[in-house]
Structure 1
Amino acid sequence: MYNEHRCHTGKINSGCGHKGGRFNRHFGGRFGYAHEMFNHGFRRVPVNIEENETSFIINLFAPALVKENLKVSTKDDVLTISYQAKEAETAEQFTRREYSNGTFERAFALNGKVLNEQISAAYADGILKVTLPKNPETNTPAKDILVD
């Protein structure tokens, strides 16, 4: 569930320095890399990812959306969250506009760490909360190895 890092080359994960800081070190090794789909021309919405004993929780910040236009789906062990804005939503005239409720799509590699059939999502107060129950067979606790 790691989102790629773009650097000055414009390429995804192109080896141009530190990739994602602490987030990458924590999630990158366990989940691999996710791919942003249709990134060009779409807006980028921020997410926070939490982990507890039983699940991962994605909190996607996206205020002023029409809930019916949100789509959360999984295919080939990739979770995709997308929003398709209707023309009436984007046709308003603004004197100043600092945020948009336009179309977006985010994708996260699950790498077998999640029970796909039990994923749930709720949208309230401008936050889409996607709960991803951990797969107990693939989420084993860390183990310290004694060095001789």
Structure 2
Amino acid sequence: MDRGFLKAGHAPTLLAAFLYFDVSFMIWVLLGPLGIAIAHDLHLNAGQKGLLVATPVLAGAGFRVLAGGLVDVLGPRRVAIAAQLTVILGLVLTWYLAPHTYSQMFGLAGILGIAGASFAIALPLASVWYPPQYQGTALALQLRFCFNA
């Protein structure tokens, strides 16, 4: 790695963006591992379980477009904070309401989709602190650590 990279940017922001991205990614895929238990408890067939597990991924794709536009208008920091608060409040509300039906679980899946929009928020958050010649390196480090963690 070029030594200039370490001096050029803001390492704490790169670390914060990585943590935001990594935690959001873990939340985004939460229904996958829990799908077996949820399907058992709600007596879902394979198709229903598949749709429920796929919904955060599909919702994340849609929310990514919205989040990307909001990042351009409001800035990545504000959008990241708003997205995290929405996900946290949504998870607390889900815990409080304790959904017991298949249709109620789609509210949770939508909230998890907002966490999936972190791709459109965290990546610009880290790279804007680096000069153009190092933005690719910052992005690569962030993705490398996230997917190797």
TM range (shorter): under 0.3
Normalising by structure 2, report the TM-score: 0.25
- Which of the two has greater helix per residue? 2
1 or 2, which has the higher strand percentage?
Answer: 1
Larger RCO (CA under 8 A, 6+ residues apart) = 2
